[in-house]
Structure 1
Amino acid sequence: MNKFVFLISCSLGALIFFSGCNGIGMQPEAKKPEVVQKVIVQKASKKDIEKIIKDEKLAFYNNIPDKEFSVYGEGIAPMNTVSPAQAVALAKRAAVADAYRQLGEKLYGVQVNSKETIKDASLRDSRIETRVNGLIKNATITETSYKDGLYTVRMVLKMSGKRWKEIFSY
């Protein structure tokens, strides 16, 4: 038993001797300064961005080509008019309206609605409705012609590349 107690006391002594106190970890740690990152959220308006692009003279801002749209509108002279002059005037009015409609379709697209009625496994009624909504400014009529009761106009809409980008880049 003495050998056993002696062996335990020697191992405890060796353990205390080798684990010793070297002073590391005994001193309080010096606090490291915390790194605080400041995040600044800033909203930029469209005018600010345009000004930055102009000031930096970025190539893509100045190289937007001008856009030109051309359509042909057609109008038919009605048969029941007071005079031939009235028939020509109404045909021209219809041709101009048709040209504006075509420009609207090119610029803004067309909304299409349809409805079909089926009875006894056969088609009874089919209706298709198209609609165009848009604002067209500064379109010019470049050519007109009237032949055999058909009035034709050529309408052109010119738009700067910058204006095109502002309106239609979505």
Structure 2
Amino acid sequence: MVKNAFILLVLAVLLTACESSRINVNKHSEWQYILPEEDYVVTATGYAPIQTQLGQDKSTKMIKAIKASKLDAYRELTEKVYGHKLTGDTRIADLVLGNESIKTSVRGVIKGARIVKTYQLDGIYVTELELNLRDIYRIGAFTNGQSKAIKARYL
């Protein structure tokens, strides 16, 4: 019994003596991001009629048309970047074409787009957007690790 207690005491002393100490190492790294050679700019244009907007006066209709044309431009830009999801349904009875329907939807997140121009033209409000896909690639390379280390040194 005393022998077991002595062995446990020695093990406890040895384990506390073997406690590891941390060493702080400062590392400085320089990275090169792998980017496409050229810019690839995608543009989109959104339209909204001013007179058909809901509102009591002309300025309210104008503000709503501005917002609607901006959303339409973003929708078109999203379609160009991510594409459409199409769902079709055709019904045939007795080899005769019956009802036919097509549904489309767009889903995506657009970051980094900029408004190039907004203007009114013949009762329609127009918004022009552009998105440089090289900038999107740069953001993805930074966040997803699509890069290579070109220099690393320990301080």
Q: Same fold by TM (over 0.5)?
A: yes
* Aligned partner of 2:105 among 125, 131, 146: 131
Pick the structure with more strand per residue. 2
Change in CA separation of 1:109 and 1:80 when aligned onto 2, cut-off 3 Å: closer
Which residue identity lines up with residue 67 of structure 1 in the other structure?
Y
Change in CA separation of 1:65 and 1:161 when aligned onto 2, cut-off 3 Å: farther
* Aligned partner of 1:150 among 118, 124, 131: 124
Task: Specify every segment of 5 or more residues in structure 1 that has no aligned partner in the other structure, as ranges.
Answer: 1-50, 55-60
Change in CA separation of 1:89 and 1:117 when aligned onto 2, cut-off 3 Å: farther
Q: How far off is 1:152 after superposition?
A: 0.8
Q: State whether residues 64 and 162 of structure 1, in contact with CA within 8 Å, keep that contact through their aligned partners in structure 2.
A: no
Q: How far off is 1:64 after superposition?
A: 2.5
Map Cα deviations across residues 114-167 of structure 1 (whole Å, 9 max, x no partner).
112345654443221111111101211111111332111110112437428748
Q: State whether residues 90 and 99 of structure 2, in contact with CA within 8 Å, keep that contact through their aligned partners in structure 1.
A: yes
The corresponding residue for 2:48 is 75
Pick the structure with more helix per residue. 1
Which residue identity lines up with residue 100 of structure 1 in the other structure?
Y
SS at 1:81's partner residue?
coil
Question: Normalized against structure 2, the TM-score is what?
Answer: 0.58
Q: How far off is 1:67 after superposition?
A: 2.6
Which residue identity lines up with residue 101 of structure 2 in the other structure?
R
SS at 1:97's partner residue?
helix
| Residue 110 (structure 1) aligned with residue 84 (structure 2) | yes
Question: Normalized against structure 1, the TM-score is what?
Answer: 0.54
Q: State whether residues 70 and 155 of structure 1, in contact with CA within 8 Å, keep that contact through their aligned partners in structure 2.
A: yes
Task: Specify every segment of 5 or more residues in structure 2 that has no aligned partner in the other structure, as ranges.
Answer: 1-28, 145-155
Q: How far off is 1:94 after superposition?
A: 1.5
SS at 1:160's partner residue?
helix
Instruction: Give runs of aligned pairs for residues 35-54 of structure 1, distance below 5 A.
Output: 54=32
SS at 1:136's partner residue?
coil
SS at 2:128's partner residue?
strand
Which residue identity lines up with residue 86 of structure 1 in the other structure?
T
Give the structure, 1 or 2, with the largest relative contact order (CA under 8 Å, sep 6 or more).
2
Q: State whether residues 99 and 154 of structure 1, in contact with CA within 8 Å, keep that contact through their aligned partners in structure 2.
A: yes
The corresponding residue for 1:160 is 135
